[in-house]
Structure 1
Amino acid sequence: MTASTGAPAPALVDLGPLAQLRAGRLGRRLPQLVVGLVLYGVSLALMVRGAIGLAPWDVLHSGLIRHVPITLGQAVVLMSFVVLLLWIPLREQPGIGTIANALLVGFSADATLALLDAPDVLAARVALMVGGVVLCGLASGLYIGAQLGRGPRDGLMTGLARRTGLSIRLVRTALEVVVVLVGLTLGGVLGLGTVVYALAIGPLTQVFLPLFLVPIKVDNGVDTTAPVGGGSS
């Protein structure tokens, strides 16, 4: 219960695509989703220009573009759809936000990289890295709070956790270790920023998500509240 009004706090729920549309407040939820995903792509680009290490999945993306003639944003989009194929045996349900995530984050990252030059001064690079991590936490709170479906990588994590019976934390850690190792093998960028991201993104998302979590209508009998968290796309 909230201290000020006595009303129940909004819950993060797990709904199928049609139920997401029927849940109401689309006039807020859809724009919030788009803004969150665009800012997520911006945050990725900030860390790239900081050049002090990338988020775990972006270590993989940065390694991939060393061998395939595509941009970083295109690598994000490509890997998003590859990961979505892994949803099929896990029987995960994609939502509007899942497809939007797969497309918008990569496009936003490329647009930001085209506009933003890499600074030479170390202090500026550190500021870009820290700003990118904080902005990623904010963006995660926005897009997850819109309650329109998990991103491809989050869905892979939750699907594996459900099918294996392992904890979300363990599955996420294992996934990120694997993608970092593969990314390093391909020549991806690992550094201090990777460690800062890994330590900070969970707490930052926990701070921002309650601020942007949109209360929605859920059909009677549905009780699918999910733990507040996130940080991967």
Structure 2
Amino acid sequence: MSKFKVLPQTPWTAMSLWSLEWRSLAMLCMSLTIVGIGEGLLLLSDLGSAPWTILSQGISLQCGISVGWASFFISVIVMLFWFPLKLHMGLGTILNIVVIAIFLGVTVKTAPLPVSLWSRFAYVLLGIFCFGVGSAIYLTCHQGAGPRDGLMVGLCQRFHWKVGIVRTCIEVTVCFLGFCLGGTVGVGTLIFALSIGWTVQFTLAQVARFSR
């Protein structure tokens, strides 16, 4: 399976990993902003963090380090798997770190805190939608992925597996490992783990159809 069969080529696909083209750069920043907002909504819902955050929490508890450092080390280890999968960093990899962090913080500070259980579930569902749609669109810029998205894309390209299956397996495995290490799993965590891959796959399919 070629790269463009996993990630469709679009009108905003960049010429190279590091090229500065206004259309691809605008789409990259917009989609990563959406991801950051989605992650912020998930955090505000207080119904459970994303699986990778649970894993960071578990490692933090077991190793006596901060969650931030645990997340950093996880990202480094995940990126080591990029080498056999023949993946490369790009502008999107850097902006993934910066833009998502900025708008995660902005969302947490400015969005109203949900009070009722129904509003908290609404934040979870909207957060997953934003996270999945934003993730799919930024990947179609073909300017590099974040560590975890890169692992997903690399496995799909290498083994010809569907995005939904690969992402779900990754998220469920990470969730289980984090829980075993002492991380706190909530209902929002489980919903995210079981649905985010299919949200990304559905969005990629719609983008491919639009591009044709």
Q: Tell me the TM-score normalised to structure 1 length.
A: 0.66
Taking a change above 3 Å as real, the CA distance of residues 199 and 115 of structure 1, as seen in their structure-2 partners, is same
Q: Decide which moves more: 32-41 or 202-211.
A: 202-211
Taking a change above 3 Å as real, the CA distance of residues 133 and 154 of structure 1, as seen in their structure-2 partners, is same
Counterpart amino acid of 2:129? V
Counterpart position of 2:22? 27
Question: Unaligned regions of 5+ residues in structure 1, if any?
Answer: 1-10, 216-233
Hey, what's the Cα distance between the residues in 2 that align with 1:206 and 1:89? Answer: 24
Counterpart amino acid of 2:178? G
Counterpart position of 1:101? 96
| Cα shift at 1:81 | 3.7
* 1:78-123 per-position Cα deviation (integer Å, ceiling 9, x unaligned): 5434422332344322222122213332343234324446433212
Question: Unaligned regions of 5+ residues in structure 2, if any?
Answer: 1-6
1:19 counterpart SS class: coil
Percent of aligned pairs sharing the same letter: 32
Counterpart position of 1:180? 175
Hey, what's the Cα distance between the residues in 2 that align with 1:207 and 1:77? Answer: 29
Q: Which has the larger radius of gyration?
A: 1
* 1:151-171 per-position Cα deviation (integer Å, ceiling 9, x unaligned): 3112223434556x4735655
Q: Decide which moves more: 136-145 or 168-177.
A: 168-177
Q: Quick one: which of 139, 142, 156 aligns to 1:147?
A: 142
Which runs of structure 2 are paired with 1:4-43 in the superposition (5 Å)?
12-13=8-9, 19-20=16-17, 26-43=21-38
* 1:181-216 per-position Cα deviation (integer Å, ceiling 9, x unaligned): 22213433423223332343344334444665696x
1:51 to 2:46 alignment: yes
Taking a change above 3 Å as real, the CA distance of residues 98 and 189 of structure 1, as seen in their structure-2 partners, is same
Q: Quick one: which of 128, 133, 137 aligns to 2:128?
A: 133
1:68 to 2:65 alignment: yes
The answer to whether the Cα contact below 8 Å between 2:8 and 2:204 also exists between their aligned partners in 1 is no
The answer to whether the Cα contact below 8 Å between 1:77 and 1:102 also exists between their aligned partners in 2 is no
Q: Tell me the TM-score normalised to structure 2 length.
A: 0.71
| Cα shift at 1:127 | 1.4
Taking a change above 3 Å as real, the CA distance of residues 189 and 178 of structure 1, as seen in their structure-2 partners, is same
Counterpart amino acid of 1:12? P
Counterpart amino acid of 1:19? S
1:191 to 2:186 alignment: yes
Counterpart position of 2:3? none
Aligned length: 198
1:200 to 2:186 alignment: no
